């Protein structure tokens, strides 16, 4: 898939655990794991907004387009 989720990178930079971020964003740890491991087919803007708010970042810091070759 050409969209890569760099959530683990931003979480490491902000020194926040998956459990803590899931609590703050109000999603299940399982759903956060699916997103973090590039298994998600979609992400709600409200979830992306909450992630960006909690990690103090922009959507482009979390999502990246990588061209298929």
Name residues whose C-beta falls within 8 Å of residue 1's C-beta, 6 or more positions apart in sequence.
Answer: 38
Find out whether 18 and 24 touch, Cβ atoms under 8 Å.
no
Domain interval for residue 9: 3-65
Overall number of domains in the chain: 1
For residue 41, what is the domain's CATH number? 1.10.260.40
pTM (predicted TM-score): 0.90
Q: Which residue has the higher pLDDT, 68 or 42?
A: 42
- How much is the pLDDT for 1? 66
Q: Which two tokens mark 15?
A: 């020194």
CA–CA–CA angle 27, 38, 66 (5° rounding):
130
């Amino acid at each position: 898939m050409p969209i890569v989720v760099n959530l683990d990178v931003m979480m490491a930079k902000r020194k926040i655990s998956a459990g803590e971020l899931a609590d703050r964003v109000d999603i299940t740890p399982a759903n956060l794991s699916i997103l973090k491991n590039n298994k998600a087919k979609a992400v709600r803007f409200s979830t992306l907004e909450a992630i960006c708010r909690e990690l103090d970042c922009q959507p482009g810091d979390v999502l990246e387009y990588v061209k298929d070759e």
